[in-house]
Chain A
Amino acid sequence: MRFWAAAIVRFIAASVIAGAVIWGAAQAEVAPADVAWGEGNVIAESLSGTPGNAGEGAKIYAEKSLGNCVACHVVSNSDADFQGNVGPSLDGAGSRWTEEQLRAIVADAKHVFPDSVMPSFYKTSGYVRPGEGFTGKPAQEPLKPLLNAQQIEDVVAYLATQKE
């Protein structure tokens, strides 16, 4: 009897600690489903709680296996080859948009522009026949977002450096 009581106490204690850790993490990072949209289609709060790194953002922007933003957008001062033009040029994006707006567009462009062709990079459900990456195999939602919270912040920081 004493053994069980001790086990239960230990279990509760462990649960409280685990809960606190998860709660702490949630404070720092906003999960895709919990993103708070502000007035005028903006995301005011950092998704990761850590300032974005523009240098990392530039890499994510150009890397095919990460953001691959370059597939559809031109940034004239980027040295990436074969920049696409399905989307608008992002030259001067940091002058045209606030950081809050850039975060919103990168995280979920269709929330801002319903007809946009641009994928939502920080969204995990609501898809039609979602696949496991590019394997063609079915995937169960929630999916891993295309970019994580810090990667979104990094891309936003990079775009903010693109001044007119």
Chain B
Amino acid sequence: MTKAIRSLGALGISLALTLPALAETAPTETPDIVIDGGAVTLPTFADAPAHLEGALGDKIYSGWVFRDAETRAMQEDDFANPSMAFVDQGIEAWNTVDGTEGKSCASCHNEIESMKGVRAVMPKVNAAGELWSMENYINDCRTNRMGAEAWKWSSQPMENMTLAISLQSRGMPVDVAIDGPAKPFWEKGKEIYYTRYGQLELSCANCHQQNYGQMIRADHLSQGQTNGFPVFRINGAGTVSLHERFSGCIRDTRAEPFEQGSQEFRDLELYVASRGNGLPVEGASVRH
């Protein structure tokens, strides 16, 4: 038995070595994410958006399919999904009065279910023509309507709230606008996506477009889709916002990342989100 496995392994290695240097490698299987025995079912691939012009091939894939069985399973059980404890805290904060105006989120927005659909279209150009992430909208409410203090971009209270709001859109396809007033932000984000940063001179595209499906040491490169954010990362045993993830990735190119919440990262957020238009919001996902 062991021997059989070993020779299979050897065959795998020799196959891998004889193959030409393929860059992107599409996942061989794309099962649905079946949560709580089918209460929620999320597809893990979608047709690639037209604006990509084939850069990722025909299909786009959730980062979930690039993770190991154990990590996948955690997201298929809301009780085992460590994000859910933070979602609960977010819902509690939603209903808690804070600030000088004596208001909670619920005072104006009623039940958190009213946020359904919000996550799918974030980030979005606001009435003043600025590109805002969900964090900006939350802090605008807090400071201007509630008389409460702004939360720091990737603070735990902020991530609890973005998680709780994201979960309301679970299963809805990502659908960020990239035209009209969003266009210049999207263009800038695209430029950032393809810029090779740091002493290692790596762009987002170098890993997540050219080499998704390949291994950097023990890390299985995904397409870098954002539909699962905020995520619970087993790696750091905590919740991680998208800008925190951007920051970590760019830091690891031996570069100076942009500030979380900066114009650059919001532009990048829009562009990367648009590469995942069509994938379902996973709300509170689990990643390695």
Contacts and interface: CB of A to CB of B under 8 A. Distances in A.
What is the predominant secondary structure among interface residues of chain A facing chain B? loop
A27 interface: no
A83 B207 CA distance: 16
A84 interface: yes
Given A130-B255, A131-B254, A86 B216 contact: yes
Interface residues of B, number: 31
A117 B254 contact: no
Interface residues of A, number: 34
A163 B215 CA distance: 24
Nearest to B253: A131
A128 B255 contact: yes
Contacts of A134: 251-252, 254
Contacts of B250: 129, 136
B247 A136 contact: yes
A36 interface: no
12 contacts: A76-B17, A81-B218, A82-B215, A82-B217, A83-B217, A85-B16, A128-B197, A131-B255, A133-B254, A134-B252, A134-B254, A135-B251
A127 interface: yes
Interface of B: 13, 16-17, 21, 195-202, 206-207, 210-211, 214-218, 221, 247, 250-257
Nearest to B25: A85
Contacts of B197: 127-129
Nearest to A124: B199
Contacts of A83: 215, 217
A70 B60 CA distance: 28
A71 interface: yes
Given A84-B217, A128-B195, A128-B197, 17 more contacts: A72-B216, A76-B13, A76-B17, A82-B215, A82-B217, A85-B16, A85-B214, A86-B214, A86-B216, A86-B221, A88-B21, A117-B202, A117-B206, A130-B198, A133-B254, A134-B252, A136-B255
Contacts of B254: 130-131, 133-134
A83 B217 CA distance: 5
A139 to B, nearest CB: 7
B17 A129 contact: no
A2 to B, nearest CB: 52
Interface of A: 68, 70-72, 74, 76, 81-89, 91, 110, 117, 119-120, 127-131, 133-139, 143, 146
B199 A85 contact: no
A88 B72 CA distance: 29
A70 B201 contact: no
Contacts of B207: 86, 117
Nearest to B247: A136
